[in-house]
């Protein structure tokens, strides 16, 4: 075709329209690609502000047990709303609600029948919106529990899946049975549920087994199916649209299963104490922490992050995974979540911790938080084989401390109630974000294990009469102790869903409020103290530590202001030679002020708030005298000495803790 013919041809309306259409199409494709790229770029970009959750305390509310507003013996959302001022009084700025979604309550809300509705026991969506609004009016954040791993058997998806109706057919983990030697159809493999028994249950509608990592009433969703991931993202968006401030993502290690569905091996260590139907009887190589776990979590995280508007709307994302600390680091480094819970204290034999045990737990976590160059072991050339530091972005890592939750016995029960304040001093003053389980601030302890017939927890019920006491989670879930009226002011019903701890008559919010040295008031003083600048970064100096005593320092970069925290976490009184052990930790020639103490458990102790401790050279230390020597600013494990040797130093009773301080403008705490 000649040039002029061609020109004429392309001016024909049909070709002009086609060209415009093509251009518009290309432009739109480009715009879509560009806008997506911008979105994912935004998601990846970290918002460079000091995130609120780093300096907050996460307060776990177990809604069934917090406050009942309608007299049915079960706590509810209106009850929580009526207690919001309590959080302000405590100085708490974030509450994490365990599940309040629609549920048949086989696992008290963790078995979800509708992810986007509130169970009538707790109220309705209107109440939830009111809770968010009222909390936000008080500058309190609301963290939801996101439970992606499983649904209730009563979820409509499961109903459809049982009937193999698309698209729900593969929403769950379905497998054919295996023909057993006796000719009967058995489960596909030997996998065990975490709450005991086979992890497989036969469904006669579908003629297949379904997998459940926990109870048979909680079928596992199939995260190999991208549609399931999309469904769960919709769930996140629903709550984010209602303005929630973050999520605790639950049972993350159970999200994926090895698709070969091979038998697990017998656990050489666990099988000795566990019987064949107990989870510990097997190793769990194929059902936990699969390679895709982090990828799936990242998908959730990206949805949540897309709701962040830097710098004002920052979300908190916490991960529940009971795992080795080194494995947990992937959540910081790869998933984009804020932190995996540090459950070391939750699992610890608290009565045995003392000073050295506590140091071990603290340092196990801390050495992953700070580049090896700066870590204690590295200072002392010991084996610091953590990770190769050059590829790790340590700025993504932030410590956190948990001592109790709704799944483990309360710390005050496990450690002894006299340890309550000292452990609060520990977890509230260490670098990082502490989580407090409701009532922990009052020193609430477990109730006695209810009889089998009164047992509520389905984990315990599943394990049967012989073993339920070993597994029951009822004792730590008893109602909050508000006052000394019947049932502790928790409910007007005569039958709360779990009995109230009889000690509520003396141990409750109202009585503790009026006692200056109560657990509650010491807790509040610590909340106030941790707002000081010196507590906001990640640095810690370990002081001297022995069998009983743990000590540490938080101070400013210049060392001109700081806090020296000394805790007797052992079972017996001990002595702290302040002279020797303050060397290098606190500045020379400066007296230390007693800023806070736990109540004295020893009649002769003279440590009291406001006292000055002047440090002099002398071997014999008495309070208000003490010693001083050369100081340099290297806190280290070198300070471990046998301090129990002789009656020298500051005497600390078992469970006693003190906060000494130096510098100007020290806060008034009590």
Q: Which residues bind ligand BGC (CB under 6 A)?
A: 107, 110, 214, 218, 250-251, 320, 406-407
Strand partners of residue 198: 192
Taking the complex as a whole, the smallest distance from the CB of residue 534 to ligand BGC amounts, in Å, to 34
CB-CB neighbours of 506 under 10 Å: 10
Taking the complex as a whole, the smallest distance from the CB of residue 98 to ligand BGC amounts, in Å, to 7
Taking the complex as a whole, the smallest distance from the CB of residue 400 to ligand BGC amounts, in Å, to 16
Q: Which is nearer to ligand BGC, 458 or 639 (by Cβ)?
A: 458
CA distance 577 to 520: 30
Is 312 designated active site? no
Burial of 453 (0-12, 13-18, 19+ CB in 10 A): exposed
Taking the complex as a whole, the smallest distance from the CB of residue 398 to ligand BGC amounts, in Å, to 21
Q: Which is nearer to ligand BGC, 94 or 319 (by Cβ)?
A: 319
Q: Phi and psi (nearest 5°) for 563?
A: -135, 135
Q: Are strands 339-340 and 178-179 parallel, antiparallel or unpaired?
A: unpaired
Taking the complex as a whole, the smallest distance from the CB of residue 150 to ligand BGC amounts, in Å, to 6
**Could you tell me which of 124, 594, 637 has the C-alpha nearest to residue 362?**
637
CA distance 553 to 405: 27
Tokens 């052990």 sit at which residue? Answer: 581
The H or E element containing residue 297 is: helix 293-305
* Residue 398 CA neighbour count, 13 Å, CB half: 21
Q: Which is nearer to ligand BGC, 147 or 429 (by Cβ)?
A: 147
Strand partners of residue 249: 146, 319
Residue nearest to ligand BGC (CB): 110
CA distance 632 to 634: 6
Q: Which is nearer to ligand BGC, 214 or 509 (by Cβ)?
A: 214
Taking the complex as a whole, the smallest distance from the CB of residue 256 to ligand BGC amounts, in Å, to 16
Taking the complex as a whole, the smallest distance from the CB of residue 406 to ligand BGC amounts, in Å, to 6
Query: What b/e readout covers 14-47, taking b as 16+ CB neighbours within 10 angstroms?
Result: eeeeeeeeeeeeeeeeeeeeeeeeeeeeebeeee
Taking the complex as a whole, the smallest distance from the CB of residue 336 to ligand BGC amounts, in Å, to 21
CA distance 406 to 419: 20
Q: Which is nearer to ligand BGC, 458 or 546 (by Cβ)?
A: 458
Sequence-ordered alpha helix ranges (H) in 367-502 = 376-379, 411-415, 420-429, 458-463, 468-471
Is 250 designated active site? yes
Dig out the tokens for 264 from the structure: 């697990």
Q: Which is nearer to ligand BGC, 289 or 406 (by Cβ)?
A: 406
Question: CB–CB of 273/279 below 8 Å?
Answer: no
Dig out the tokens for 245 from the structure: 């401030």
The H or E element containing residue 358 is: helix 354-366
Taking the complex as a whole, the smallest distance from the CB of residue 269 to ligand BGC amounts, in Å, to 23
Q: Which is nearer to ligand BGC, 219 or 584 (by Cβ)?
A: 219
User: Which one from 111, 220, 250, 474 is the annotated catalytic residue?
Assistant: 250
Q: Which is nearer to ligand BGC, 213 or 359 (by Cβ)?
A: 213
Q: Which is nearer to ligand BGC, 214 or 365 (by Cβ)?
A: 214
Coil vs helix vs strand at 384: coil
User: Which one from 320, 338, 421, 532 is the annotated catalytic residue?
Assistant: 320
Positions of E strands within 376-496: 400-402, 433-437
The H or E element containing residue 541 is: strand 541-542
CA distance 375 to 369: 9
Burial of 397 (0-12, 13-18, 19+ CB in 10 A): buried
Q: Phi and psi (nearest 5°) for 209?
A: -95, 145
Instruction: Give catalytic residues, as residue numbers.
Output: 250, 320
């Amino acid at each position: 075709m000649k040039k002029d013919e061609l020109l004429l041809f392309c001016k024909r309306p049909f070709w002009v329209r086609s060209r415009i259409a093509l251009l518009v199409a290309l432009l739109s494709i480009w715009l879509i690609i560009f806008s997506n790229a911008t979105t994912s770029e935004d998601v990846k970009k970290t918002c460079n502000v000091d995130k609120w959750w780093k300096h907050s305390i996460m307060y776990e509310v177990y809604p069934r047990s917090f406050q009942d507003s309608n007299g049915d013996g079960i706590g509810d959302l209106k009850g929580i709303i009526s207690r919001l001022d309590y959080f302000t009084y405590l100085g708490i700025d974030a509450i994490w609600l365990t599940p309040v979604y629609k549920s048949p309550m086989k696992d008290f809300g963790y078995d979800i029948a509708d992810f986007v509705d509130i169970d009538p026991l707790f109220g309705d969506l209107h109440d939830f919106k009111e809770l968010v609004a009222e909390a936000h009016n008080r500058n309190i954040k609301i963290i939801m529990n996101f439970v992606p791993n499983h649904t209730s058997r009563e979820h409509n998806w499961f109903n459809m899946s049982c009937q193999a109706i698309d698209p729900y057919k593969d929403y769950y983990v379905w497998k054919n049975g295996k023909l057993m030697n006796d000719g009967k159809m058995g489960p596909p493999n030997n996998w065990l549920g975490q709450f005991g028994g086979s992890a497989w249950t036969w469904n006669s509608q579908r003629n297949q087994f379904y997998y459940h990592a926990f109870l048979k009433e909680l079928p596992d969703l199939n995260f190999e199916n991208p549609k399931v991931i999309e469904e769960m993202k919709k769930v996140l968006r629903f709550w984010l649209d209602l303005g929630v401030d973050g999520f605790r993502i639950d049972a993350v290690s159970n999200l994926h299963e090895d698709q070969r569905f091979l038998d697990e091996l017998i656990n050489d260590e666990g099988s000795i104490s566990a019987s064949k139907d107990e989870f510990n009887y097997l190793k769990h190589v194929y059902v936990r922490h699969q390679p895709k776990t982090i990828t799936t979590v990242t998908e959730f995280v990206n949805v949540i992050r897309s709701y962040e508007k830097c710098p004002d709307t920052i979300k908190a994302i916490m991960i529940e995974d009971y795992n080795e600390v080194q494995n947990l680091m992937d959540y910081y480094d790869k998933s984009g979540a804020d932190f995996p819970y540090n459950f070391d204290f939750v699992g610890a034999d608290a009565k045995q911790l003392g000073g050295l045990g506590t140091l071990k737990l603290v340092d196990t976590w801390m050495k992953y938080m700070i580049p090896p160059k700066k870590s204690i072991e590295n200072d002392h050339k010991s084996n610091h084989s953590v990770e190769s530091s050059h590829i790790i972005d340590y700025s993504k890592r932030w410590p956190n401390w948990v001592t109790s939750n709704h799944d483990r016995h309360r710390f005050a029960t496990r450690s002894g109630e006299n340890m309550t304040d000292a452990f609060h001093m520990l977890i509230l003053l260490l670098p990082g974000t502490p989580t407090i389980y409701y009532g922990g601030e009052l020193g609430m302890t477990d109730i006695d294990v209810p009889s089998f017939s009164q047992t509520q927890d389905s984990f315990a019920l599943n394990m049967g009469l012989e073993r339920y006491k070993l597994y029951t989670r009822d004792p730590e879930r008893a109602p909050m102790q508000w006052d000394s009226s019947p049932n502790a002011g928790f409910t007007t019903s005569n039958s709360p869903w779990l009995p109230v701890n009889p000690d509520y008559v003396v141990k409750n919010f109202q009585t503790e409020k009026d006692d200056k040295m109560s657990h509650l008031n010491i807790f509040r003083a610590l909340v106030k103290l941790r707002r000081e600048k010196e507590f906001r970064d990640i640095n810690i100096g370990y002081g001297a530590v022995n069998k009983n005593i743990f000590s540490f320092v938080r101070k400013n970069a210049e060392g001109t202001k700081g806090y020296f925290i000394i805790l007797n976490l052992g079972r017996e009184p001990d002595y702290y030679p302040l002279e020797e052990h303050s060397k290098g930790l606190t500045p020379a020639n400066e007296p230390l002020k007693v800023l806070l103490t736990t109540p004295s458990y020893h009649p002769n102790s003279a440590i009291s708030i406001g006292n000055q401790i002047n440090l002099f050279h002398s071997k014999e230390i008495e309070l208000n005298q003490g010693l001083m020597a050369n100081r340099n600013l290297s806190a280290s494990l070198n300070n471990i000495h046998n301090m129990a040797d002789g009656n020298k130093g500051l005497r600390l009773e078992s469970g006693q803790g003190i906060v000494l301080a130096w510098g100007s403008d020290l806060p008034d705490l009590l």
